[in-house]
Amino acid sequence: MRRWPSALLLLIPLAVGGCGNGGLQFRQDDRVDITAPTDRARVVAPLDVRWTTKGLVLGEAGGPARFAVFVDRAPIRPGQDMSAVGDDACRRTAGCPDEGYLRDRFIYLTRKTSLTLDTLPAKSTSNRTSAKDTHDVTIVLVDADGRRRGESSWSVEFTTR
Report the pLDDT value the prediction gives residue 1, as an integer from 0 to 100. 53
Report the pLDDT value the prediction gives residue 2, as an integer from 0 to 100. 57
| Higher-scoring residue by pLDDT: 14, 140 | 140
> What share of residues in the chain are helix, strand, coil (percent, to 5)?
20, 30, 55
Report the pLDDT value the prediction gives residue 63, as an integer from 0 to 100. 61
Report the pLDDT value the prediction gives residue 32, as an integer from 0 to 100. 94
Report the pLDDT value the prediction gives residue 125, as an integer from 0 to 100. 60
- pTM of structure: 0.77
Q: Which residues contact 50 (CB under 8 A, 6 or more apart)?
A: 34, 35, 36, 113, 114
What is the per-residue pLDDT across 54-87, written as a single tens digit (0 to 9) for each?
Answer: 987 676 665 667 999 999 999 999 999 999 998 8
Distance of CA 66 to the CA centre of its chain: 13
**Which ranges constitute the DSSP H helices of the chain?**
3-17, 88-91, 99-104
Give the span between the Cα atoms of 99 and 80, in whole angstroms.
17
What is the per-residue pLDDT across 114-128, written as a single tens digit (0 to 9) for each?
Answer: 999 999 998 766 555
Report the pLDDT value the prediction gives residue 45, as an integer from 0 to 100. 87
Q: If pLDDT is split at 50, 70 and 90, which confidence band does 107 have?
A: very high
Report the pLDDT value the prediction gives residue 144, as an integer from 0 to 100. 87
Report the pLDDT value the prediction gives residue 56, as an integer from 0 to 100. 77
Domains (range + CATH), the chain: 28-121+130-160 (2.60.40.10)
Q: End-to-end alpha-carbon separation of the chain, Å?
A: 67
Report the pLDDT value the prediction gives residue 35, as an integer from 0 to 100. 96
What is the per-residue pLDDT across 1-40, written as a single tens digit (0 to 9) for each?
Answer: 555 555 545 555 445 454 554 455 567 888 999 999 999 9
Q: By CB neighbour count within 10 A (0-12 exposed, 13-18 middle, 19+ buried), where does 157 fall?
A: middle
